[in-house]
Amino acid sequence: MDKFRITGGRPLSGRVTVSGAKNSALPCLAAAILTPETVTLHNVPYVRDCMTQRRLLEDLGATVLVPDLRTHKITAANIELFEAPYELVKTMRASVLALGPLVARFGKAKVSLPGGCAIGTRPIDLHLEALKLLGAQVSLESGNIVARAPQGGRLVGSDVTFPKVTVTGTENLLMAATLARGTTVLRNAAREPEVEDLADLLNRMGARVRGAGTDTITIEGVEALGGAEHTIIPDRIETGTFLVAAAITGGELEVKDCRPDHLGAVTGRLREAGVEIEEVNPTTLHARRSPKGLVARDVTTEPYPDFPTDMQAQYMALLTQAAGSARVTETIFENRFMHASEMQRMGASIRVESNSTAVVEGPTGLSGARVQASDLRASASLVLAGLAARGETVIERVYHIDRGYEKIEAKLRAVGADIERLRESVTAQLPPAETLTA
Ligand code: EPZ
């Protein structure tokens, strides 16, 4: 498994470009299942999770052409399999986004029940309860969710209130409702920009979605959807990660091709913590640490538009360099502090009080160490800590970071970071020489 080797202590400086949003590309790729015509997506990030979603589409029978690295042309004209198998779902939970489109267009779907992951159990009960309200029969058969539209026909529009905000739950139901008979209203819907981006694509395909981006989305079902062309929005979490990279290294970065309007809670909190952020233009931010230094500020993660859970680990890394004590409260996932113990091994002063609160004292000098990535955003926070640390940090299992960050080591090296990828060499797996001659 690949590793990163970082020699920290170098202020970053220069210009970095943000890639497309993984968490928009994943539902948009699944949306192509809703039509036999070609859906063309631009600005798809070159990350592992999108490759996995592409493989799922191809396993279902769709063709996916990739004329250039970040453009995907999906044609789901010959779907002959209606199943998202265990081996795919266990590597990427977002495969459950095939559920809504398959049931909506074909009246049936079988999706392996995703197991938990490092950050939590992550059930999909809210997806399933909502699909039942649209008339689907849902059963659990040897670890697979089997869903069928009534009498194998079409789903029926309904009024659905989510008891809890769920991003992919909202997206699954949004896609399912586009082909249902009648009107569906989704209440307490997720308001993330990625939900809005999906709705933009669906409307280009001929759907009738109103209110995406608010907590109430209304969908008038239509008979069929057509092809469309769409450009995925920039990744707001990658953007936030680079803003922190500038501040934690005492450097300054110009972050291009981003959407500052998707990042209000993050830039607001970072500014309060002593990060000087200037909106250069509607798609460019400039960030640096204030000459007065970083100051510790509490943070609580909440659904959009408040501070995103996907920025919690990166913000915790910044807090290790901020003066004072701050409380980090994680309200979305039950086990999202695994990065804390790895940062402690680098010298950070972090007290994890429960699975939802941790207190960080700073500033503390960090020193390089061998650390282990546990999940996507935790690994990003360890890269940030490594950039700020004195000496050498080796981060193991960087396949986690490859799931959601496109070529992060190349982007960081281009702005002055001393970071390299240590590929698991083939020779390392060969038996010792003496056995070869035996
Ligand atoms: C999406 O996950 C994102 N993934 C996550 O990003 C992100 O952290 C999360 O939303 C919260 O913003 C994608 O969009 C592909 P949820 P999702 O359903 O949809 C509970 C990353 O790093 N819940 O909004 O799976 C759930 O356990 C990833 O890019 C239920 O109880 O998250 C959690 O506590 C990590 N039952 C809370 O709701 C359900 O049926 C929010 O989960 C669904 C969710």
- Judge whether 209 and 157 are in contact, CB under 8 Å: no
Tokens of 216: 């109430």
pTM as predicted: 0.96
* Residue 88 binned pLDDT confidence (cut-offs 50, 70, 90): confident
DSSP state of 181: B
User: How far, in Å, CA of 236 to CA of 92, rounded?
Assistant: 20
Residue 268 reports pLDDT greater than 90: yes
In the chain, % of residues over pLDDT 70: 96
The boundaries of every CATH 3.65.10.10 domain in the chain are 3-19+234-426, 22-231
Q: How far is the CA of 168 from the centre of ligand 1 (A)?
A: 7
H-type alpha helices, 249-292:
264-272
Checking if the pLDDT of 162 tops 70, the result is yes
Mutational pocket test of ligand 1: of 119, 161, 166, the residue with most ligand atoms within 8 Å of the beta carbon:
166
CA 192 to ligand 1: nearest atom: 12
Question: Alpha-carbon distance 382 to 360, whole Å?
Answer: 15
Residues with CB under 6 A from ligand 1: 23, 26, 94, 120, 122-127, 164, 166-169, 309-310, 332-333, 376-377, 404
Q: Which residue has the higher pLDDT, 426 or 150?
A: 150
Question: Which residues, in sequence order, are bridge partners of residue 72?
Answer: 41
Look up residue 279 and give its two tokens. Answer: 């909106």
96 DSSP assignment: G
Q: What is the pLDDT of residue 260?
A: 98
Q: Is the pLDDT of residue 429 over 60?
A: no
CATH of 3-19+234-426, one of 3.40.50.2000, 1.20.120.1200, 3.65.10.10, 3.30.50.10: 3.65.10.10
Cα 277 to chain centroid, rounded: 23
Protein residue with its CA nearest to atom 24 in ligand 1: 166
**Nearest ligand 1 atom, CA 128:** 40
Q: Confidence band (pLDDT; 50, 70, 90) for 420?
A: very high
Q: Binning pLDDT at 50, 70 and 90, where does residue 87 land?
A: confident
Name the residue among 342, 399, 405 with its Cα closest to residue 369. Answer: 342
Q: What pLDDT, on a 0 to 100 scale, did the predictor assign at position 272?
A: 98
401, 405, 409, 414 alpha-carbon torsion, rounded to 10°:
-160
**Mean pLDDT computed over 43-68:** 96
How many Å separate Cα 103 from the centre of its chain?
Answer: 24
Cα of 165 from ligand 1 centre, angstroms: 9
Q: In what order do the strands lie in the sheet with 108-112?
A: 83-84, 108-112, 144-148, 137-141
Residue 220 C-alpha to ligand 1 middle, in angstroms?
Answer: 26
* Helix (H) or strand (E) run with residue 183 in it: strand 183-187
Structure tokens at 408: 């992060």
Per the annotation, the verdict on 258 as an active-site residue is no
Task: Provide mean pLDDT across the span 291-313.
Answer: 98
* Sequence-distant (≥ 6) Cβ neighbours of residue 142 within 8 angstroms: none
As separate numbers, helices (DSSP H) first and strands (DSSP E) second, the chain gives 15, 24
Question: What confidence score (pLDDT) does residue 436 get?
Answer: 41
Which residues partner with 159 through β-bridges?
Answer: 185
For 64, phi and psi rounded to 5 degrees? -125, 115
Architecture of domain 22-231: Alpha-beta prism (3.65)
Residue 168 has pLDDT above 90, yes or no: yes
Band of pLDDT at residue 433, cut at 50, 70 and 90: very low
* Residue 427, pLDDT above cutoff 70: no
Does the pLDDT of residue 315 top 60, yes or no? yes
Mean pLDDT of 390-414: 96
For residues 307 and 276, is the Cβ–Cβ distance under 8 A?
no
Tell me the average pLDDT across 181-197: 98
Q: Does the pLDDT value for residue 143 go beyond 60?
A: yes
What pLDDT, on a 0 to 100 scale, did the predictor assign at position 428? 55
Q: What is the pLDDT of residue 438?
A: 34
- Helix 125-133 × helix 167-177 angle, to 10°: 20
**Per-residue pLDDT at 437 exceeds 60:** no
Q: What is the pLDDT of residue 406?
A: 97
Task: Say yes or no to pLDDT of 294 above 50.
Answer: yes
Longest CA pairwise span in the chain (Å): 73
User: What is the band of 435 on the pLDDT scale with cuts at 50, 70, 90?
Assistant: very low
Distance of CA 434 to the CA centre of its chain: 46
Q: Closest Cα to residue 93, out of 32, 169, 36?
A: 169
Mean residue pLDDT of the chain comes to 94
